Amino acid sequence: MTLYVLDLVGVAVFAVSGALAAGRQRMDLFGVMVVATATAIGGGTIRDVVLGRQPLFWVADANYLYVILSAALLTMLYARLVRPPGVSLFVADAFGLGLFTYIGAEAASEAGAAPPVVVLMGVVTGVAGGILRDVLCNVVPLVLRREVYATAAIAGGVAYVVLDRLGAGDLALVLITAGLTTGLRLAAIRLDLNIPPVTPKEDGSTTRNPGD
């Protein structure tokens, strides 16, 4: 039951981030719903397909779609009345990232996956929805920028694996995995932390003009 509630909360939070992103692009109601839905269930759908879980979680339980619809509509109404802070999209996304990283890792662990797969499923569940959101909104996905984004999800997934091997309880797994992921992402936003780019070393040669 706890995992189910957290999953619904994560879906709601990511639906909010999707609705905010679509609103910034001045999409109509249909566009907002499409972006909110893709953001909320995109990562979980990929996770379930990879792990062979059938039927997909939102097909088996329509409550997920009701939550997405409600969260998106409430977000639009709120945005009509009060201008959301500029950082609201990133904060909502950070909390969704933390919750979904835990949920993805937990789902893979319950399926008996190896530790690297557990980490990967945590990352995929956490970041794939955001990638779909950004692509639909015609912006460069956060995961492809120099943002501490996927890195935060990886840290959370590794923490989950370590704690699970140490026999940590469910509460500790949730709080530390989701808290670490969200905390790292929020710290990166607040402190403007970036991942250093990987660039090839210059060979020192220069191009000369034919007449030189």
Residue 210 lies in a domain: no
Could you tell me the two tokens for 133? 């959101």
Residue 52 lies in a domain: yes
pTM: 0.85
Among 22-26, 35-39, 137-141, 143-147, the minimum mean pLDDT is found in: 143-147
Share above pLDDT 90 across residues of the chain, in percent, rounded to a whole number: 68
The residues near 116 (Cβ < 8 Å, ≥ 6 apart) are none
**Could you tell me the pLDDT band of residue 79, with boundaries at 50, 70 and 90?**
confident
Range of the domain at 15: 2-191
Total domain count, the chain? 1
Residue 197 lies in a domain: no
pLDDT of 201: 67
pLDDT of 82: 83
Residue 102 lies in a domain: yes
The answer to whether residue 143 scores a pLDDT higher than 90 is no
pLDDT of 146: 73
Residue 209 lies in a domain: no
Residue 32 lies in a domain: yes
- Dist. CA 151–CA 6, nearest whole Å: 22
The answer to whether residue 202 scores a pLDDT higher than 70 is no
- Dist. CA 31–CA 41, nearest whole Å: 16
Residue 181 lies in a domain: yes
Residue 182 lies in a domain: yes
